[in-house]
Amino acid sequence: MNERVYFFDTTLRDGEQTPGVNLNQEEKVEIALRLEQLGIDVIEAGFAAASPGDAAAVRAVANAVTKPLVVSLARANKGDIDAVINAFTGIENVGIHIFIATSPIHREKKLFMSKEEVIKKAVECVSYAAQYFKHVEFSCEDATRTELDFLREVAEHVIEAGATVLNFPDTVGYTTPEEYAQLFQYILEHTKGVENVRLSCHCHDDLGLAASNSIAAIKAGALQVEGCVNGIGERAGNVALEEVAALLETRKDYYQKETGINLTEIAKTSKLISRLTGVSVPPNKAVIGNNAFAHSSGIHQDGVIKDKTTYEILKPESVGFVETKLVLGKLSGRNALKKRYEELGYSITQEQLKEVFTKFKELADRKKEIFDEDIIALLETKTSEQTSTYTFKDLSLQVLANKDYRAFVHILKEDGSVIEGIAEGNGPIDAIYKGIDQGLNIKAELIDYKIKSISRGKDSIGEVFVKIKHEEALYQGRAIHVDIIFASASAYIDAINRVVSLQSSYASAEIKN
Ligand SMILES: CC(=O)SCCNC(=O)CCNC(=O)[C@H](O)C(C)(C)COP(=O)(O)OP(=O)(O)OC[C@H]1O[C@@H](n2cnc3c(N)ncnc32)[C@H](O)[C@@H]1OP(=O)(O)O
Ligand SMILES: CC(C)C(=O)C(=O)O
Ligand SMILES: [Mg+2]
């Protein structure tokens, strides 16, 4: 039978120590209820002595949740402990978390206490709190910079005084996986009474090792992991609990541990915490980042289409995300493009795919990300161009001394010849349209011109609609392109193609008659 690892969430306490984060009572309760859904075993709801508001929030959280145990942090002094006792008066399933720093740096430079004084304070406080709480967690702050034999000494004393959980925080993110594992092994092997308590790890990410250190501690025998969803917290943050949970699940074969975490709740919990704290999740963040299940290169996309396990070790739906994302862009291949068309309801032949893929790559060279609207537009453009007599080729513009424009427009005819039209106008579009008229020797009046962006972002595709009048009849034209000048010229030529096509159908009707 696999051992059970307990998840202690301190998003509402250490997480609130993230610079700029301040959660009010309602927000703490909302997050706590979600943490309960996530399957968190212990919720550290705050630091009762920090402010009357936090004491009230800690109480409100304890009243709101049913299953998880709720604790409040307290320094090793009677005042802080009394604040927790008062906050939890009359509530079941609560506990206290008392801490004092044990490292020489903190003893000498912050607390101004000797080893003996630290032990005395710790014992006094744990014994006092144990009269009120069945669950008393004790933390040796800055444990990873503490002499190992002193840690053992403190541990033995507080176990005797009534502590039920012993936590060895890597307060400043200083330790390494090997060293942290050795700390737990040492405590487990040498501490009297250790079999009566649960050992806990608490890692900060100052050197980017919070997850590696936490997992090393678990492997070495820690049965509780403390951290925050989204990895928020003081400085570089705490370990991201979702990473530890996902790792223990994905590599159950190796770690052989059970947890109470409902992985499918991770996405919702992460989003709520991000919204209420205002701390956004980086796109590349493991498990919860926007890109965590997005594949952008052709070879990966091809693999994932054939079988997701080629490039996914975790199913997005297993952590509450809807689906794998294939992000279309410059590095995508035909298989991903075809799949997206099919998902959007367009079935295309290999021949069509070949043609549209060339346009797709041209577009992708100009745009960072290709959206669904873009690829639909590509397909539609292709269809309308199939019947075109004239196609816009390129143009150049000159600004004249009087601020008018002169346009040199090149139009490709069906037979491959290029027609040039030159004209002046009071704006670039006016000059281009007059240039097209001149080149094609046609007299059309522009009745309407509209431009809108089809997709998202600064490099979005522009869609231009034009309406022209020719010999009393109205014709519409439409074109899309990332370059709006290109789209404007193409839309006008599209309308002219409709004039030409109607004229040629009249002509053939007359011949038949
Ligand atoms: C590693 C961690 O994350 S620890 C948790 C950190 N979280 C917080 O500090 C958030 C809440 N903190 C607060 O609101 C305030 O700091 C309070 C209300 C707790 C205390 O405020 P103040 O009384 O003004 O003290 P201040 O914060 O300036 O200094 C901390 C004092 O606690 C002492 N102290 C620090 N840790 C402990 C401890 N674990 N046990 C006993 N005393 C401690 C310090 O030595 C210092 O004492 P001093 O005033 O005699 O020099
Ligand atoms: C209060 C303790 C547990 C803490 O947050 C730390 O040492 O990082
Ligand atoms: Mg901490």
Residues 218/5, Cβ–Cβ less than 8 Å:
yes
Which of 152, 179, 177 has the alpha carbon at shortest distance from 166? 152
Which ligand 2 atom lies nearest to the CA of residue 17?
A: 5
In short, whether 77's Cβ falls inside 6 Å of ligand 1 is yes
Give 406's pLDDT tier (boundaries 50, 70, 90): very high
Of all residues in the chain, what percent carry a pLDDT higher than 90? 78
In short, whether 49's Cβ falls inside 6 Å of ligand 1 is yes
Beta pairing, strands 135-141 & 165-170: parallel
Question: How does pLDDT run across 290-300, given as a tens digit for each residue?
Answer: 899 999 899 99
User: What is the number of the ligand closest to the CA of 170?
Assistant: 2
What does the alpha-carbon distance between residue 115 and residue 168 come to, in Å, rounded to a whole number? 17
In short, whether 137's Cβ falls inside 6 Å of ligand 2 is no
Which residues have a beta carbon within 5 Å of ligand 3, which is an ion?
14
In short, whether 103's Cβ falls inside 6 Å of ligand 2 is no
The alpha carbon of 97 and the centre of ligand 1 are apart by a number of angstroms equal to 14
The alpha carbon of 171 and the centre of ligand 2 are apart by a number of angstroms equal to 6
Indicate the top mutation candidate among 75, 99, 138, 234 to test ligand 1's pocket, ranked by most ligand atoms within 8 A of CB: 75
What does the alpha-carbon distance between residue 464 and residue 447 come to, in Å, rounded to a whole number? 13
Question: How does pLDDT run across 426-462, given as a tens digit for each residue?
Answer: 999 999 999 999 999 999 999 999 998 876 666 677 8
Q: Is the pLDDT of residue 382 over 60?
A: no
Q: Whose CA is nearest to atom 47 of ligand 1?
A: 111
Question: How does pLDDT run across 101-137, given as a tens digit for each residue?
Answer: 999 999 999 999 999 999 999 999 999 999 999 999 9
The alpha carbon of 141 and the centre of ligand 2 are apart by a number of angstroms equal to 6
Residues 43/12, Cβ–Cβ less than 8 Å:
yes
Which of 323, 406, 328, 402 has the alpha carbon at shortest distance from 367? 328
User: What is the number of the ligand closest to the CA of 75?
Assistant: 1
Identity of the residue numbered 55? A
Indicate the top mutation candidate among 11, 23, 54, 111 to test ligand 1's pocket, ranked by most ligand atoms within 8 A of CB: 111
221-226: average pLDDT: 98
238 annotated to a ligand binding site = yes
Task: Look up tokens 């936090």; give the residue.
Answer: 54
Identity of the residue numbered 313? I
Q: Is the pLDDT of residue 254 over 50?
A: yes
402 annotated to a ligand binding site = no
In short, whether 76's Cβ falls inside 6 Å of ligand 1 is yes
Q: Is the pLDDT of residue 377 over 70?
A: yes
CA torsion sign for 51, 52, 57, 62 is: positive
Q: Is the pLDDT of residue 45 over 60?
A: yes
Phi, psi of 402 (to 5 degrees): -85, 15
**Residue partners of 149: CB distance under 8 A and separation at least 6:** none
